[in-house]
Chains A and B, each alone.
Chain A
Amino acid sequence: MTRTHLDQTLANSRVVVVAGSGGVGKTTLSAALAVRAAIGGRRVAVVTIDPAKRLADALGIAGQTAIGNEPVRIPLDDAHGELWALMLDTRSTFDALVDRYSPNADQAQRIRSNLFYKNISGALSGTQEYMAAEKLYDLNGDERFDLVIVDTPPTRQALDFLSAPARLRRFIDHPVYRIVIAPSSVGLRAVSAVSQPVLRAIAKVVGAQALDDALAFFRAFQGLDAGFRQRAHDVDRVLHEPSTAYIIVTSGQAEPVAEATYFVDALESANVAVSLVVANRLMPYFGGGDISLPAPLAGNLRELADERRAEESNLEVLRTARPDTPWIRVPLVPELVDERLDTFASLRLLGRALGDAD
């Protein structure tokens, strides 16, 4: 059932979010899923939050086509659909949002040249996750594509983008924020008792200069927050739509399986069901040997079978915890870890392994 399940997921979803810990082949797998969907006739955009180099490597276009914040088309000979790739640029995505919601160019400029804005748009934890959700929303509404595949960063924060829109709303609605953006003349008297220690505390942590920059930013930001709030609401809706599928990737190693379990739990507590777990890069099953084998070959068969059993027992933890979640098991294709192989060929190998699995 799992093969059909994978192809159904690729055929019926408008968004596929791929999450998992590092080193499990997530970027390559996302690329392979995109290739598979494009061959199947869908117009796919695959977006990476990781440094784009790895996606370019996985797609075999490193050094030829630059992947940036705007989608580029990847030529694919035998596809009925189309394959596009892009990388999330948090800063440009944030800039585009500011431009969209600023009532005039002046205010947009004032925000974009603010030192505080420059810092948060690149570095604030949560900004990247929110902008990923934002970009996903944008692509979801782009008529060029009917499927968006998102390769998330290999950290626990990968799923922060689920809660990022809500957090942004909470922040904009928080009394402290309103104090901060209150104009310095009117209304300050009423809130000064609260605001003074708050601002003093913040100044103590970040320094007075940084605080001034931040206050200037929030004042410049006024009037944009309604637009941001509505947008956050829309983005949130897309993330929870039934046409948005979540695929968790793991290897057979204990740590990635533990991370995958964490991801599945985190998604569940966000009221999102996992569509599919992909156990990737597993030790293949070779079959048994007969008793007449030379010792080194028989020993090797035993050792590899041992490795396979160890992986199985790691995976069992996740499987018993989530007996109803569909699984797909992808054995390791040794060529895939060999960088001498043409990467596009290896994607097809992985695509085939996905199709052959189970």
Chain B
Amino acid sequence: MDPKLFLSASRVFIVAGKGGVGKSTVAATLVTAARRVGLTSLLVETDGKPLLVGGAGDRGLTACTITPAEALAEYLDSSGLGRISRRLVTSGIVDVVASASPGIDHLLVLGKVKQLERGRAADVIVVDGPAAGHALTMLRTPRALADSVVVGPIKQQANDVLGMLNDETRCQVVLVTIPEPTPVNEAVETAFSLEENIGVRLAPVVVNRVDVHPPIDIPDVLAQDSAAVRAARFRNDRIAGHARCLDDLSRRLPLPRIQLPLDTHATLADRTDQLLGAIENLEGGAP
């Protein structure tokens, strides 16, 4: 399908995946791809770690970071409590008492994302979400708080965020995985949990670092313990392993798939080409 159509189908893409699957790289690639098709885009970091290696600034990306502490301080400020908010935060007491409603920090981060979305900070906002299980916890928070808190600003905030999560034109979740057993298992579990418990729309799942090399023919005449044969066997094992995992994924998860190749030397520009190509190969209209 048309990449511009794909990327403007939703204003916010929350990128989620287990650590080590290249989640941050995929988030940065989405931001660059959006820019390439003529949309303005913004990368949002949520857990305060430096963006990729080298930093987003070096890559000419527009980016910002939201941490729970800052979101909380801002929230206190906007509630007219700016003067004492710093002391509350540094004493750790808000951290402790806020836990009386667990997940309030997640809610405040999502609230800030919602504010960016409402303020049309960019055509496409890509959120580099927290790793694995934490993404699930974060996305579950608004529903839990909307159900458990009876009145007040938190209830309002939870409902507003839930409104964004449940509207596919405003927000979708991009799951990232790699073709190995544990990441695939986690992606499948996360996908079902997200759809059932949160009702958020899932974008096509991104399978990163797929070895797309065809199997290598190993002639019998070669010494079977030579470097070349052992390397070819190693490669064939990996190719077969990836194919098994992709099969497994498509059997268990009825979502369209975007495959990105294992490519050691790829630059962000190369990855953007690869992503745009994979989107063009997707069938159908809106994702």
Partners in one complex: yes
Using CB atoms and an 8 Å cutoff, list the residues of chain A in contact with chain B.
21-24, 51, 54, 115-116, 119-120, 122-127, 154-156, 167, 170-171, 174, 176-177, 180, 197-198, 201-202, 204-207, 209-211, 213-214, 251, 253-259, 262, 284, 286-289, 293-294, 296-298, 300-301, 303-304, 306-307, 310, 334, 337-339
B119 interface contact, C-beta 8 A: no
Q: What B residues does A171 contact at CB under 8 A?
A: 91-93, 96
Q: Do residues A120 and B98 form an inter-chain contact, with CB atoms below 8 A?
A: no
Q: What B residues does A338 contact at CB under 8 A?
A: 181, 237, 241
Q: Do residues A253 and B99 form an inter-chain contact, with CB atoms below 8 A?
A: no
Q: What B residues does A51 contact at CB under 8 A?
A: 133
Q: Which residue of chain B has the shortest Cβ distance to A311 in the bound complex?
A: B264
Using CB atoms and an 8 Å cutoff, list the residues of chain B in contact with chain A.
18-22, 24-25, 47, 49-50, 52-53, 72, 75-76, 79, 81, 84-85, 87-88, 91-105, 130-134, 149-154, 178, 180-183, 213, 216-219, 222, 226-232, 234-235, 237-238, 241, 264-265
Q: Do residues B238 and A334 form an inter-chain contact, with CB atoms below 8 A?
A: yes
Expressed in whole angstroms, the Cα–Cα distance for A294 and B152 within the complex equals: 72
Contact status of A298 and B228, CB under 8 A, knowing A255-B22, A255-B24: yes
Contact status of A286 and B227, CB under 8 A, knowing A23-B21, A119-B102, A310-B264: yes
Contact status of A210 and B84, CB under 8 A, knowing A22-B18, A167-B92: no
Q: Which residue of chain B has the shortest Cβ distance to A298 in the bound complex?
A: B228
Within the complex, the shortest CB–CB distance from A178 to chain B, in Å, comes to 11
Within the complex, the shortest CB–CB distance from B246 to chain A, in Å, comes to 14
Q: Do residues A209 and B238 form an inter-chain contact, with CB atoms below 8 A?
A: no
Q: Do residues A258 and B100 form an inter-chain contact, with CB atoms below 8 A?
A: no
Q: Do residues B217 and A296 form an inter-chain contact, with CB atoms below 8 A?
A: yes
Q: Do residues B84 and A123 form an inter-chain contact, with CB atoms below 8 A?
A: no
Expressed in whole angstroms, the Cα–Cα distance for A123 and B217 within the complex equals: 53
Q: Which of B21, B24, B50, B101 makes the CB contact (< 8 A) with A207?
A: B101
Q: Do residues A205 and B104 form an inter-chain contact, with CB atoms below 8 A?
A: yes
Contact status of A156 and B231, CB under 8 A, knowing A177-B93, A201-B85, A339-B181: no
Q: Do residues A23 and B20 form an inter-chain contact, with CB atoms below 8 A?
A: yes
Expressed in whole angstroms, the Cα–Cα distance for A211 and B88 within the complex equals: 14
Q: Which of B99, B103, B219 makes the CB contact (< 8 A) with A120?
A: B99
Q: What B residues does A155 contact at CB under 8 A?
A: 19, 130-131, 134
Q: Which of B52, B98, B231 makes the CB contact (< 8 A) with A300?
A: B231
Interface centre among B99, B183, B265 (most CB of A within 10 A): B99
Q: Do residues A124 and B102 form an inter-chain contact, with CB atoms below 8 A?
A: yes
Contact status of A297 and B22, CB under 8 A, knowing A124-B102, A202-B97, A337-B180: no
Q: Which residue of chain B has the shortest Cβ distance to A213 in the bound complex?
A: B100
Q: Do residues B153 and A204 form an inter-chain contact, with CB atoms below 8 A?
A: yes
Within the complex, the shortest CB–CB distance from A259 to chain B, in Å, comes to 8
Q: Do residues A205 and B20 form an inter-chain contact, with CB atoms below 8 A?
A: no
Q: Which residue of chain B has the shortest Cβ distance to A256 in the bound complex?
A: B20
Expressed in whole angstroms, the Cα–Cα distance for A116 and B22 within the complex equals: 37
Q: Which of A201, A206, A301 makes the CB contact (< 8 A) with B104?
A: A206
Q: What B residues does A210 contact at CB under 8 A?
A: 97, 100-101
Q: Do residues A119 and B101 form an inter-chain contact, with CB atoms below 8 A?
A: yes
Q: What A residues does B241 contact at CB under 8 A?
A: 334, 337-338
Q: Which of A123, A197, A284, A296 makes the CB contact (< 8 A) with B234?
A: A284
Q: List 25 A-B contacts (CB under 8 A).
A: A21-B20, A23-B21, A23-B183, A123-B102, A124-B99, A124-B102, A155-B19, A171-B91, A174-B92, A177-B93, A202-B88, A204-B153, A205-B76, A205-B79, A205-B104, A211-B97, A286-B228, A289-B228, A298-B228, A300-B216, A300-B231, A304-B235, A334-B234, A334-B241, A337-B241
Contact status of A337 and B181, CB under 8 A, knowing A177-B93, A207-B151, A255-B22: yes
Q: Do residues B216 and A206 form an inter-chain contact, with CB atoms below 8 A?
A: no
Q: What B residues does A339 contact at CB under 8 A?
A: 181
Q: What A residues does B149 contact at CB under 8 A?
A: 207
Expressed in whole angstroms, the Cα–Cα distance for A174 and B180 within the complex equals: 48
Within the complex, the shortest CB–CB distance from B212 to chain A, in Å, comes to 12
Expressed in whole angstroms, the Cα–Cα distance for A256 and B18 within the complex equals: 12
Within the complex, the shortest CB–CB distance from B40 to chain A, in Å, comes to 27
Within the complex, the shortest CB–CB distance from A264 to chain B, in Å, comes to 15
Within the complex, the shortest CB–CB distance from A257 to chain B, in Å, comes to 8
Within the complex, the shortest CB–CB distance from A118 to chain B, in Å, comes to 10
Q: Do residues A206 and B101 form an inter-chain contact, with CB atoms below 8 A?
A: yes
Expressed in whole angstroms, the Cα–Cα distance for A306 and B81 within the complex equals: 56
Expressed in whole angstroms, the Cα–Cα distance for A51 and B134 within the complex equals: 13
Q: Do residues A293 and B19 form an inter-chain contact, with CB atoms below 8 A?
A: no
Contact status of A180 and B93, CB under 8 A, knowing A119-B102, A334-B241: yes
Expressed in whole angstroms, the Cα–Cα distance for A134 and B222 within the complex equals: 58
Q: Do residues A286 and B131 form an inter-chain contact, with CB atoms below 8 A?
A: no
Expressed in whole angstroms, the Cα–Cα distance for A338 and B236 within the complex equals: 13
Q: Which of A206, A214, A262 makes the CB contact (< 8 A) with B49?
A: A262
Within the complex, the shortest CB–CB distance from B170 to chain A, in Å, comes to 26
Q: Do residues A301 and B227 form an inter-chain contact, with CB atoms below 8 A?
A: yes
Expressed in whole angstroms, the Cα–Cα distance for A207 and B40 within the complex equals: 38
Expressed in whole angstroms, the Cα–Cα distance for A115 and B176 within the complex equals: 37
Interface centre among B91, B96, B182, B213 (most CB of A within 10 A): B96
Contact status of A287 and B227, CB under 8 A, knowing A120-B96, A206-B100, A300-B216: yes
Q: Which residue of chain B has the shortest Cβ distance to A23 in the bound complex?
A: B20
Q: What A residues does B50 contact at CB under 8 A?
A: 258
Q: A21-B20, A214-B100 are in contact. List 11 more A-B contacts (CB 8 A).
A: A51-B133, A116-B99, A122-B102, A125-B105, A154-B19, A202-B93, A204-B79, A204-B81, A206-B100, A209-B150, A286-B234
